Amino acid sequence: MSTAISVLSRRSLAFSAADASRFAALRSARCILQYALVARLATRAPETCGLIRPYSTSYLCDRTLNVYPYWLEIGTFRLPTFGPMVVLGFLAAHYFIKRELDRRGIDPELATSLITAGILGGLAGAKLYFVLFELPDYVTWGQTLRSLFSGSGLTWHGGFIVAALSVMWTIRRHGAALAPTADASGIGLAIGYAIGRIGCQLAGDGDYGVPTDLPWGMAYPDGVVPTTQIVHPAPVYETLLGLAIFALLWSSRRFLAERRAGLLFCLYLVLAGAARFGVETIRLNPEVIFGLTGAQLFSIGMIATGVGIIVRLLNS
């Protein structure tokens, strides 16, 4: 009896993860199509929308931008939109990591431990980076402690290093092969990041780019970090790039595995680093050195690491 319950429980969890990934993909496609339609209507026939107002040479239809800072509001309780989308991203990552581990002959249940290590390590690393490099010098110790438990400061490049170290430690602790497990993790990272960025777009949390007159430019007047300027929808760019990277990695996983274990993860580092570097050119982040932002410097490190390991793997 207990064995049957255990089997049913595992199947239920797998089904839920698959359902979550499909739901996230459908919602992503829906949002992208809506934004494309809004851009087309706003530039070709602005007079057809009753809530359009001019800004510079562009036009904006406020109610069709689908900015949802909060996923759920019950009385004074508010659930930010970003959180559920991150959860969906982790569920999708878990589903694909588990599938790829199973295909490579590695215990698929390791996926749960990898995701847990990634979440805990990522949160710790992101908060540490925020406190050390982004928190203003004038804040008090009390404000610093409060920021550690707030929803701010969850930067991708801040959490990636600690998350990677946590995942590597987990792989070693379970006695799994590092390279093929890392390959499976790269696939999960690509789809998880793409879905998580949908949360940034829906919430309007300030991850947008510089002002633009392009037809797909958007404003976030009701976002968590509001702006009435029409700007580059950087989270949409990152979602599209993330989905493209995921599609490439997923379609080439068998070929790369036949060549050498570890190539897929290194390819992820190169592609993800290049994508983030490019998006940063239209973002509002401050420059750190040589006209580059902190995220761009980190992206260069990702690309260099990926290329270096690829060369070493192919020559060994």
**Averaged pLDDT for residues 213-227:** 84
pLDDT of amino acid 290: 87
Q: What is the pLDDT of residue 224?
A: 77
For residue 248, the Cα-to-chain-centroid distance in whole angstroms is 17
136/133 Cα distance (integer angstroms): 8
> What is the rounded radius of gyration, in angstroms, for the C-alpha atoms of the chain?
21
Torsion of CA 288, 294, 299, 301, to 10 degrees: 70
Q: Does the pLDDT of residue 174 top 50, yes or no?
A: yes
Residue 170: both structure tokens together: 């987990």
The answer on pLDDT for 301 being more than 90 is: yes
The token pair that represents 263 in the structure block: 């190539």
Q: What residue ranges do the domains of the chain occupy? A: 2-106+177-315
Highest mean pLDDT among 12-16, 22-26, 224-228, 280-284: 280-284
The most confident of the ranges 29-43, 71-85, 203-217 is 203-217
Long-range contacts of 16-21 (CB under 8 A, 24+ apart): 16/91, 17/91, 17/92, 17/94, 17/95, 17/98, 18/95, 20/88, 20/91, 20/92, 20/95, 21/88, 21/91, 21/92, 21/95, 21/96, 21/191, 21/195
User: Over 90: is that where the pLDDT of 251 sits?
Assistant: yes
Q: How far is residue 94's CA from residue 104's CA, in Å, rounded to a whole number?
A: 15
**Which pLDDT score, from 0 to 100, does residue 234 have?**
92
The token duo for 211 is: 């002002």
Instruction: Point out the least confidently predicted range of 143-147, 246-250, 291-295.
Output: 143-147
Query: Quick one: DSSP state of residue 285?
Result: P
Mean pLDDT of 284-294: 84
Q: State the pLDDT at residue 135.
A: 54
Strand partners, 218: 231
| Cα–Cα distance list, 49 to 38, 44, 91 (Å) | 10, 11, 38
> Whose structure tokens read 């991708």?
156
Structure-block tokens of residue 57: 């040479």
